[in-house]
Amino acid sequence: MKWDVFNICLFLLSLCNAVRYEPNWKSIDSRPLPSWYDQGKIGIFIHWGVFSVPSFSTEWFWWQWKGSPPVPGVEAFMKDNYKPGFTYADFAPEFTAEFYNPNEWAELFNASGAQYVVLTTKHHEGFCNWHTNYSWNWNSMSTGPNRDLVGDLADAIRKYTDMRFGVYHSLFEWFNPLYLQDQANNYQTQKFVESKTLPELYELVNTYKPDLIWSDGDWMVSSDYWNATQFLAWLYNDSPVKDYIIVNDRWGNDSRCKHGGFLDCSDSFDPGTLQKRKWENCMHLDKYSWGYRRNMKIDDVLSMVDLLSEMMETISCGGNILINIGPTKSGEIIPVFQERLRSMGDWLKVNGEAIYGSVPWSHQNDTVTRGIWYTSKKGPEGRIVYASISSWPEKDQLFLGAPKPTASTKVTLLGYPQQFEFKPGPSGGITLSIPVISIFDMPCQWVWIFKMEGLKN
């Protein structure tokens, strides 16, 4: 957004509540994003539901089994392991969540350094993880956990941490007869939206007062069918969360990557260039699924270098990163995910200065050396520029093409007290001298960040 006079006036007016958003995209898109989201940069995404019971293939299990066309491996899995006549609904009582400890989850997510958490309240299977009035038996109070999974996590996050709490919600449901009826009517009727989707969204907002609504399941039909702009106008004008709520862009096939709050575009969106609007890279630690898979192999899990490099690329280009883990049906977050999240937290303790509250620099990656991503911040004496590298230089020199040094330029490594020597490059840029650093003095592993002060640019 350009902070021209018009937008500043709009913002000031919105402060005194004089601006009312209209139910159209132009008006909805004009709302400034509350600043907590861009400042926070890192979120944790949790895919948890009845699909966590078979925990095979992906969270799309039901569709892969009974949708069209079925996925042969999933059909065979059911044939080989379950009695004939077993239905997807029969999985629900096995969604036991007996080890679900929301306080432990909150502690873990907080230790990861993330600033917000987004939990699936309902995926495309339609199973509601909260105490809802709009599902009679397909929800976590009536079967399975017999517990308000959403409310319990929201409480723990708010009680024990400063993180923000968000709700993922799927607009459509694969097999809901009301949805299928609307679809068969070419979406000329809105029975499903009126009796299910919208009541659920209002209920989630009024009950849990989320900081973020992560909408999904929008793509088969336009935002008009979902009454999306009407709902968002209420959310921004009159809801109890109007001052801090943030939403994404998945509100219909006309809205993705275009309208709403921040843009998620496609899953794992990572464009590698600066984007005009605030965006998010939602991605998964298990390379092949959002939901838990019992047969996940260690090589299927992103390494710390992969994770941190992707994070730096995303943030350099103005994005946030939303990192997904899938808990088990019993409510455990398996140790390999715990390890990745805690390692990230340790790394952020050293390097968080270059992440939280940072803004993109004039260059996102280096002009010459590959794999170097920049962020920047306003320092007490001018701009600070951070350069991240994902492999330690093999030689005793590292060339950075983008920075323009001055006589007062100072270069350090985050977490390492000494200043680095450098020479101006032959045609611009700087050549850093890389000293031998004892393994005991190395501030971190995987990705390192140089801090540059007093540059010309």
Ligand X SMILES: *[C@@H]1O[C@H](CO)[C@@H](O)[C@H](O)[C@H]1NC(C)=O
* Structural tokens at position 255: 């809205």
CB under 8 Å to 20, separation ≥6 — which residues?
Answer: 233, 237
Among 30, 96, 189, 230, the residue binding ligand X under the rule CB under 6 A is 230
DSSP class of residue 257 equals T
Contacts to ligand X from residues 368-387, by CB under 6 A: 368, 370
Q: Give the nearest distance from C-beta 107 to ligand X in angstroms.
A: 5
Q: Are 424 and 405 in contact (CB under 8 A)?
A: yes
Both tokens assigned to 263: 């843009």
Write out the two tokens for 398.
């590292």
Which CB, 228 or 411, lies closer to ligand X? 228
406 half-sphere exposure, CB direction, 13 A CA radius: 9
Contact pattern for ligand X over residues 303 through 342, marking x by CB under 6 A: ----------------------------------------
Contact segment (CB under 6 A) with ligand X among 150-158, 218-226, 332-340, 449-457 equals 218-226
Q: How many residues sit in the footprint of ligand X (CB under 6 A)?
A: 23
Q: Note whether 356 binds ligand X by CB under 6 A.
A: no
CB of 113 to ligand X, least distance (A): 7
155 touches ligand X by CB under 6 A = no
- The smaller minimum CB distance to ligand X, of residues 151 and 454, is found at 151
Near ligand X by CB under 6 A, which window of 364-372, 387-395, 403-411, 449-457?
A: 364-372
Residue 373 amino acid letter: W
CB of 163 to ligand X, least distance (A): 8
Q: Does 136 bind ligand X (CB under 6 A)?
A: no
Q: Can residue 281 be called a binding residue for ligand X (CB under 6 A)?
A: no
* Nearest distance, CB of residue 73 and ligand X, angstroms: 29
Residue from 155, 254, 306, 453 in contact with ligand X (CB under 6 A): 254
**Site mask for ligand X (CB under 6 A), range 259-278, x = bound:** -------------xx-----
Rounded distance between C-alpha atoms, residue 339 and residue 304, angstroms? 10
- Report how far residue 392's alpha carbon sits from residue 125's, in angstroms, rounded to the nearest whole number: 45
Map residues 91-130 to x or -, x wherever contact with ligand X holds by CB under 6 A.
----------------x--x--------------------
Query: Any residues with CB less than 8 A from the CB of 309 and at least 6 apart, and which?
Result: 371, 373, 390, 447
Asked if 388 is part of the footprint of ligand X (rule: CB under 6 A), the reply reads: no
Distance CA 76, CA 393 (A): 49
What's the rounded Cα separation, in Å, for the pair 245 and 353?
Answer: 25
The piece of 164-172, 235-243, 361-369, 385-393 that touches ligand X (CB under 6 A) is 361-369
Q: Is 343 in the site for ligand X (CB under 6 A)?
A: no
Of 4-12, 33-41, 94-102, 217-225: span binding ligand X (CB under 6 A) = 217-225
Q: Which stretch binds ligand X (CB under 6 A): 46-54, 89-97, 168-176, 220-228?
A: 220-228
- What is the nearest approach in angstroms of ligand X to the Cβ of residue 5? 33
Residue 222 in the binding site for ligand X (CB under 6 A): yes
**Spatial separation of the C-alpha atoms in residues 427 and 431, rounded to whole Å:** 11
Does 161 sit near ligand X (CB under 6 A)?
yes
Q: How far is it between the farthest Cα atoms of the chain?
A: 78
DSSP H helices in 321-395: 335-351
What track of x and - describes contact with ligand X for positions 187 through 216 (by CB under 6 A)?
x------x---x----x---x---------
Between the CA of residue 308 and those of 74, 95, 383, 389, what are the distances in Å?
A: 33, 33, 24, 10
Q: What is the DSSP string of 408-445?
A: T-EEEETTEEEEPPEEE-BTBSEEEE-----TTT---S
- Spatial contact of 381 and 409, defined as CB atoms under 8 Å apart: no
Single out the residue of 271, 145, 282 nearest to residue 212, CA to CA: 282
CB count within 10 Å of CB 95 equals 22
Is there binding between residue 148 and ligand X (CB under 6 A)? no
Separation of alpha carbons 253 and 149, rounded Å: 30
Residue 280 three-state SS: strand
Contact set with ligand X (CB under 6 A): 107, 110, 133, 160-161, 187, 194, 198, 203, 207, 220-222, 227, 230, 253-254, 272-273, 365-366, 368, 370
